[in-house]
Amino acid sequence: MAELVAAELRRSITVAMRRLSASSLMPASQGNLSARDRDTGNVVITPHAYPYEDMTPDDLVVLGPDGEQIGGRLDPSYDALLHVGVYKARPEVFAVLHTEPPYVNAFGALGRDILPVTTTGLKSANGTTPIMPFRHRRDEAFTTEMLEVMGDSHGVVWQNHGLLVVADTVENAAERTIGIEFNAQVMHLALRAGEPQTLERVGADMIVA
């Protein structure tokens, strides 16, 4: 019997979430991460409210392409259908990661876009990381609006909540998240001293390191 999702995909999610949780990018069991299997089209996602330090590949939940649960004993993340909606709208995306980084959230609380003030930030976000206005419900309408706000960026900030990043692999989603938070921290420090020079007019593909 064929696997619903590749075992390596499951492993990569648990490794990434332990790393991100240990880096203080998510308080407690907040946040979520999913990946789409390139062969089956199924989505594997972290369960709802489960401690990342204890999570194993067997604890993950598998969803069909339309969001129905087809594997796993636990409930999927609250944002499961949002993840599925992103995959339906963006065929080039194979990983979706939601975290709550403190510096990113600080700019989100201010309603201020995070500008690329470092080459790391430019590459990680593919430019500016925009702010999605706060909404009480993260439903289909939220997903549609969020993707419009995101545009060509690799990430978007949910105002007063957190960061969502898309990528082609789980590992790249994690790297982009770390890079966007690093850039937000540098922007915060630079604003305390003056007005930072940004890289808004520089294409991310022009940066090699």
What does the domain layout of the chain look like in residue ranges?
7-206
Residue 75: the pLDDT is 98
Q: Which own/partner pairs from 89-94 qualify as long-range (CB within 8 Å, at least 24 positions apart)?
A: 89/143, 89/144, 89/147, 90/147, 90/166, 92/168, 93/36, 93/166, 93/167, 93/168, 94/35, 94/36, 94/38, 94/167, 94/168, 94/169
Q: What is the pLDDT of residues 112-124, one digit of tens each?
A: 999 999 999 999 9
Query: Quick one: CA dihedral 135, 157, 95, 89, positive or negative?
Result: positive
pTM for the structure as a whole: 0.95
**What is the average per-residue pLDDT within 186-200?**
95
Is residue 173 helix, strand or coil?
helix
Residue 28: the pLDDT is 87
**What is the average per-residue pLDDT within 144-172?**
98
Q: What is the pLDDT of residues 49-83, one digit of tens each?
A: 999 999 999 999 999 999 999 999 999 999 999 99
Residue 1: the pLDDT is 45
pLDDT-derived band at 41, boundaries 50, 70, 90: very high
DSSP 57: G
Residue 202: the pLDDT is 74
Query: What whole-number distance in Å separates Cα of residue 118 and Cα of residue 100?
Result: 20
Domain 7-206 in CATH 3.40.225.10? The answer is: yes
pLDDT more than 70, % of the chain:
96
